[in-house]
Amino acid sequence: MRVMIVGGGKVGYYMAKTLLDHGHQPIVIEKDRKLCSQVANDLDIPVTQGDGSTVEYLEAAGCGRCQALVAVTGRDEVNLITCQIAKRVFHVEKTVARVNNPKNTEVLRRLGVDIAVSSTDNLARILEREVETAAIQQVLNLAGGTATVFEIQIPDRFKYNGKSLAQIPISESAVIIAITRSGELLIPRGNTQILNGDKVLCVARDTAIHELMQDWGLASN
């Protein structure tokens, strides 16, 4: 997944590093030359110096080739404008904005931001869960947001089609709790097979979701 990050301060740096560690391709736009150099040197990723809330710099940095844009500057109005341009001009699939004033969260959502997050610590986790693959759908947050119940739509040509759960790699931090097949609910056991078209209900720590999707060949590149 190619992700444009507008804002190269602490939050943007953390976002880029986390996404990079998980195999994604972050691209950063930042006004401050010193911050640009720090991000580029530390992470060895593309960094553009300029105003990420303008069409000119977003285009120059390759916004049109990104699957997601995350605006994490310290100004909510800048984050809003950036997300609107990304969506309307460059047709970016998913936009995420850091909200510095929690009172603005609902306003940003109403004005077209897909995900408005006031807690910056969870930005990377939320972004991966929402954008990484269309095959996964969040059902319920657990344990203060550190675990999730989610549903996976098994695609056609699933590489483990016909294999039992005992034969499929599953993280120790994830549990398969139900399978829906042709409208019928199945309570899985070790010998239960996974078939193309199944809907698999899982509970996992958020740190294990990406690992599971990678192991099953469902994560976006």
pLDDT tens column, 4-62:
999 999 889 988 988 888 778 999 999 999 999 999 999 999 999 999 999 999 999 99
Query: Sign of the CA dihedral 140, 146, 147, 148?
Result: positive
Helix axes 206-215, 123-131, angle to 10 degrees: 30
Query: Sign of the CA dihedral 52, 56, 57, 58?
Result: positive
DSSP, collapsed to helix, strand or coil, labels residue 52 as: coil
- Check pLDDT > 50 for residue 138: yes
Sequence-separated (6 or more) residues with CB below 8 Å from residue 88: 112
Confidence band (pLDDT; 50, 70, 90) for 210?
A: confident
Chain Cα centroid distance, residue 215: 17
Fold classification of 131-216 (topology level): Alpha-Beta Plaits (3.30.70)
- Of residues 146 and 198, which shows the higher confidence score? 198
pLDDT at 1: 82
pLDDT at 8: 93
Sequence-separated (6 or more) residues with CB below 8 Å from residue 211: 171, 174
pLDDT at 211: 82
- Prediction pTM value: 0.62
| Helix spans in 44-104 (H) | 55-60, 76-88
Query: Which residue spans of the chain are classified as CATH 3.30.70.1450?
Result: 131-216
CATH architecture of 2-120: 3-Layer(aba) Sandwich (3.40)
Q: What is the rounded average pLDDT of the residues 142-155?
A: 79
pLDDT at 71: 95
Strand partners, 202: 150, 176
Query: Which residue spans of the chain are classified as CATH 3.40.50.720?
Result: 2-120
- Check pLDDT > 80 for residue 110: yes
Is residue 7 within 8 Å of residue 73, measured between CB atoms?
yes
Pick from 70, 76, 83, 94: nearest CA to 19: 70
How far apart are the C-alpha atoms of 159 and 33, rounded to whole Å? 46
DSSP, collapsed to helix, strand or coil, labels residue 176 as: strand
